[in-house]
Amino acid sequence: MTFSKLNDYFLSIFEKKYRTEQLFDWLYIKRINDFDSISNMKKEVILKLKEDFYFDKIDILEKQEDVDVLKYLLKLRDGNTIEAVLMKHDYGNSLCISSEVGCNMACSFCESGRIKKIRNVESGEMVLEIMTIEKDLGERISHVVIMGIGEPFDNYQNFCDFIEIINHPKGINLGSRHITVSTCGIVPKIYEFSEFPYQVNLAISLHAPNDTLRSKLMPINKVYSLQKLMKAIKYYIMKTNRRVTFEYIMLAGVNDTKECALELVDLVKGINCYINLIPYNETNNLEYKRSFKETILMFYDILKKNNINVTIRREFGRKINAACGQLKTIKENLA
């Protein structure tokens, strides 16, 4: 529950609002796992809490390690599994979390969409992804990216509650500027997100500079064309005055040509953005290959020369299949 919903709850049971702050302290600062540890509330309140709530938990089923990266296979209460990836940067620990069990977006290049969405990951479960991994690490997580399995804007309310919970100064207190959400382009939610009162960074999975190609790669483009998407993004920038990131996977011979680069320049020219080129991580899908390094650099140069802010994404965890697009809901060989 968010701080404000918990406030309402305490009022509804004729308790004072300061109980919310006390409970946030137990949950997110002291990090207790049972109601009986709460020592500053009356017995009746504790009983009521026990009646109305329970402590959820997430089990770590498996952990794989590579240089500066850890991939976690996590089991939710109902047995469903998701993955989360921890990346160690010089500026802190960044966690990539999953927002859905499976994904309905069916992007042709992405492993996470091989299994249709089974259910939303609840806001509390997203919070638990962070808390479970912080406990396992013995370190704080300083940055969160919602770029694991699932489409966060297809689970919008849980996503919003999650941000409100982790950002709250009386709780985990994770700065909104340290949080990034990535969407494949669910246009109505981009408009809604323009009104979202937290300064969370927005990334858009673009991956193609024209509708023909983008619709081939990402079925969502048949619903929300590039024109609609760009209009929504311009509205978001106008409303929030924030810069957006465009993610662009480099697929050999598909979207990495000189023509594509020039088309991309035209598409984003004048928009307050930067482009993150992502070397494609090869998956079981044999259709796509990673662009050659030289091609990626050629593409990068064209954008740079045209004054587009562009970076090439640093790679993490390719060996342990923990990289972008390699996360999946069910591990086939799980004992």
| Shortest CB 174 distance to ligand SAH, Å | 19
* 3-state secondary structure (DSSP) of residue 122: coil
Among all residues, whose Cβ is closest to ligand SAH?
Answer: 325
**DSSP, res 328:** -
**Residue 173 CB burial class (10 angstroms; 0-12, 13-18, ≥19):** exposed
Q: Does 249 bind ligand SAH (CB under 6 A)?
A: yes
Among 226, 278, 296, 322, binds ligand SAH (CB under 6 A): 278
Q: Which is nearer to ligand SAH, 15 or 151 (CB)?
A: 151
Catalytic residue among 247, 315, 324, 332: 324
Q: Which two tokens stand for residue 303?
A: 């954008």
> Which residue lies nearer to ligand SAH by CB, 7 or 98?
98
Closest to ligand SAH by CB, 95 vs 324, is 324
Rule CB under 6 A: choose which of 9, 35, 109, 159 binds ligand SAH: 109
- Rg (the chain; Cα; Å): 21
Residue 306, burial from CB neighbour count under 10 angstroms (0-12, 13-18, 19+) = middle
**96 and 147 Cβ atoms separated by less than 8 Å:** yes
Q: Give the shortest CB-38-to-ligand SAH separation in angstroms.
A: 37
Pick one of 171, 209, 317, 325: the residue that binds ligand SAH (CB under 6 A).
Answer: 325
The Cα 194–Cα 233 span in angstroms is 9
Q: How far apart are CA 240 and CA 243, in angstroms?
A: 9
Q: Which stretch binds ligand SAH (CB under 6 A): 33-41, 103-111, 127-135, 166-174?
A: 103-111
Binds ligand SAH (CB under 6 A): choice among 15, 125, 151, 164: 151
One of 15, 83, 100, 247 is an active-site residue; which one? 83
134 as an active site residue: the answer is no
| Cα separation of the two ends of the chain | 34
Using CB under 6 A, pick the residue from 280, 299, 300, 316 that binds ligand SAH: 280
205-208: long-range pairs with CB below 8 Å, 24+: 205/107, 205/247, 206/246, 206/247, 206/248, 206/275, 207/107, 207/109, 207/247, 207/248, 207/249, 207/251, 207/255, 208/255, 208/260
CA dist list (Å): 117 to 50, 206, 244, 328:
32, 21, 27, 11
Stretch that binds ligand SAH, among 132-140, 158-166, 180-188, 300-308 (CB under 6 A): 180-188
Of 70, 84, 110, 213, the residue at the interface with ligand SAH (CB under 6 A) is: 110
* Shortest Cβ 285–ligand SAH spacing (Å): 8
Q: Is 324 in the site for ligand SAH (CB under 6 A)?
A: yes
CA of 86: how far to CAs of 89, 298, 308, 316, 328, in Å?
Answer: 10, 31, 30, 9, 16
183 makes contact with ligand SAH (CB under 6 A): yes
Rule CB under 6 A: say whether 184 interacts with ligand SAH.
Answer: yes
246 Cα distance to chain centroid? 14
Residues across the chain: 335
Instruction: Please say whether the beta carbons of 246 and 275 come within 8 A.
Output: yes
Tell me: does residue 281 bind ligand SAH (CB under 6 A): yes
Size, binding site for ligand SAH by CB under 6 A: 18
Please report whether residue 283 would count as binding ligand SAH according to CB under 6 A. Answer: yes
Q: Which of residues 205-244 bind ligand SAH (CB under 6 A)?
A: 205
Residues recognised as catalytic? 83, 324
- Residue ranges in contact with ligand SAH by CB under 6 A: 105, 107, 109-110, 147, 151, 182-184, 205, 247, 249, 278, 280-281, 283, 324-325
